[in-house]
Chains A and B, each alone.
Chain A
Amino acid sequence: MSDLKALYQEIILDHNRNPRNFKKMKDASCSVDGYNPLCGDHYTIYLKLDKGVITEISFQGSGCAISKASASVMSTVLKGKTRAEAEVLFEKFHHLVRGENKNENSAEEFGKLAAFAGVSEFPARVKCAILPWHTMKNALEEKKDIVSTE
């Protein structure tokens, strides 16, 4: 049960139940679909960019608790960040959920994202956590293709 509690932390369950910024954005600068064919997770990420800064971010779609919470937490973390800052966070989040984070001070550094550290113990679920971030990154790069984590 201890591993499960590490995976399904309260913050993840909360964002799954009440996802933040869970809406369509009509005047988005860009939007990209992300899809995980293994489990059918499917999200659309909307970004509004102003001079390289993410001024608005929202998402819609459906999937498991991990992917939905990941999208929700990501949306709260990235608002106001520059493109470069978002890309740094993308890399850090990758390391975190893959268990490659060697930084002792991760709790401070990652803030809310630290809740996803438990995902690294569940290899089958890493893709779920990463899907919204991949989709966001492609939206930043304004790639229009559908993102797939398979």
Chain B
Amino acid sequence: MKNTSTIEQQTRIDFPVEKIRRDFPILSISVHGKPLVYLDNAASAQKPNLVIDTIKKYYLTENSNVHRGVHYLSELATKKYEAARVTVQKFLNAESEREIIFVRGTTEAINLVAATFGRKNVQAGDEVLITGLEHHSNIVPWQMLCEEKGARLRVAPINDDGEVVLEEFARLLSGKTKIAAISHISNALGTINPVKQMIEMAHQQGVPVLVDGAQAVPHIRIDVRDLDADFYTFSSHKIFGPTGLGILYGKTNLLESMPPYQGGGDMIKSVTFEKTIFNDIPHKYEAGTPHIAGAIGLAAAIDYMNSLDWDVVQQYEQTLLLLAHEKLAAIQGLRIIGTAKEKAGVVSFVLDGVHPHDIGTILDQEGIAIRTGHHCAQPVMQKYGIPATARASFAFYNTIEEIDTLIRGIQKVKEVFGHV
């Protein structure tokens, strides 16, 4: 982490946060009579008017099924749905919109790859490599696959700061490794993994890499071609879009070589009782009526993100993170969990003598929303020997004043528990 003087310097950066906050109507509500301080962005981000209005407009004037009818509304919905795919393609700098699959979320994207690429390529005696900071959604699908196939799940450990030990990652890559699945940013610790470097290491061994980008896409710009990721996944609701929608990016040759995920309408070219010819990518992986409003809403969220100066956004978010780190660390009895050199968006902490769940309830009474618990990353908690943490997670609409409110809230927690 950087030092204080750098923080103070960065605090002066000109960022129109108040203007941005007005774009997110929910940020002006009150909770328990106090202004909402929303610091649970890693769980789900709030939605700007642009997204809300776009979805409303879709249902008011554009709704129909896609890829089916010849009538006006069906053609309009299809056009908007496919335009959303192109928006995502450009957002990720993918080579073709055919490489963008609409799924329910990051979890389904990973399950899709495990069930298709995984089932086809992982056999008894093979290995799947993950890291010690993964979310359950990037552990359990691989565990299930390995169990089914008699393969072995290998885990590259993390050090005490919450960084993947790269030497171990390299050591665990071998001819047996059929895929590596790694988080871009840890949801529990905020660690930014050096994914470009890790992908290069894997590719040197001929191992394809899936990147779980759920926590990265809200904070940093992603270029899947620069990263050379084989698969990249993220969820719409964490980037200010609607829930129930996520993205699987996959390289064309991989997507074309994999078997379908689910069978049904839209994923076929022709069906007889003897034989079905599957559709081309991306439709091969999109059985049934998709979440059309979700895709169009996600495109609006991306349009919103694209309207911001992303260099300044990232600089501002780093300032929030560094300030939060500094102010939290100054509280007696508070320990920050996850102190990687490269971090984004998240500060996890524990407080002596107070369970995170109690911290969460007391902060809630102050209008402050944080997450408490194991963050669907129980192996990370086990590594630190704790059952749970309290986690504050930031978005670009959070303010320095909100961090001060959080600090005052934690002082209140100490008062209630008689630790002053």
A residues with a Cβ closer than 8 A to B are 1, 3-4, 7-8, 13, 17, 38-42, 62-66, 68, 122, 124-125, 128
A64-B365 contact given A13-B417, A38-B373, A40-B388, CB 8 Å threshold: no
23 example contacts (A-B, Cβ-Cβ < 8 A) are as follows A1-B365, A3-B365, A4-B365, A8-B362, A8-B416, A8-B417, A39-B356, A39-B357, A39-B372, A39-B373, A39-B388, A40-B373, A40-B387, A41-B387, A42-B387, A62-B355, A62-B387, A64-B357, A65-B358, A66-B358, A125-B357, A125-B361, A128-B357
For residue B354, CB closer than 8 A to chain A, the reply is yes
Chain B, Cβ-Cβ closest to A5: B416
**What residues of A have a CB within 8 angstroms of the CB of B365 in the complex?**
1, 3-4
Chain A, Cβ-Cβ closest to B418: A13
B143 to chain A, nearest CB (A): 17
Chain B, Cβ-Cβ closest to A17: B353
Chain B, Cβ-Cβ closest to A39: B357
List 6 tightest A-B contacts by C-beta distance, closest first.
A64-B357, A64-B355, A40-B387, A39-B357, A40-B388, A65-B358
A4 B416 Cβ-Cβ under 8 A: yes
B358 A40 Cβ-Cβ under 8 A: no
B373 A124 Cβ-Cβ under 8 A: no
**What residues of A have a CB within 8 angstroms of the CB of B357 in the complex?**
39, 41, 63-64, 66, 125, 128
Give the contacting residue for A65; candidates B355, B373, B381, B387; CB below 8 A. B355
A124 B387 Cβ-Cβ under 8 A: no
A115 to B388, CA, bound (A): 26
A45 to chain B, nearest CB (A): 18
A13 to B418, CA, bound (A): 9
Chain A, Cβ-Cβ closest to B387: A40
B349 to chain A, nearest CB (A): 15
**What residues of B have a CB within 8 angstroms of the CB of A64 in the complex?**
355-358
A148 to chain B, nearest CB (A): 14
A18 to B351, CA, bound (A): 18
A1 to B416, CA, bound (A): 9
**What residues of A have a CB within 8 angstroms of the CB of B237 in the complex?**
none
Give the contacting residue for A122; candidates B361, B381, B418; CB below 8 A. B361
A42 to B417, CA, bound (A): 21
**What residues of A have a CB within 8 angstroms of the CB of B418 in the complex?**
13
For residue B374, CB closer than 8 A to chain A, the reply is yes
A81 to B213, CA, bound (A): 55
B354 A65 Cβ-Cβ under 8 A: yes
CB 8 Å contact bits of B338-357 with A (1 = contact, 0 = none): 00000000000000011111
B381 A40 Cβ-Cβ under 8 A: yes
**What residues of A have a CB within 8 angstroms of the CB of B361 in the complex?**
4, 7, 122, 124-125
A91 to chain B, nearest CB (A): 25
Residue among B361, B374, B378 facing the most chain A CB atoms (10 A cut-off):
B361
CB 8 Å contact bits of B238-267 with A (1 = contact, 0 = none): 000000000000000000000000000000
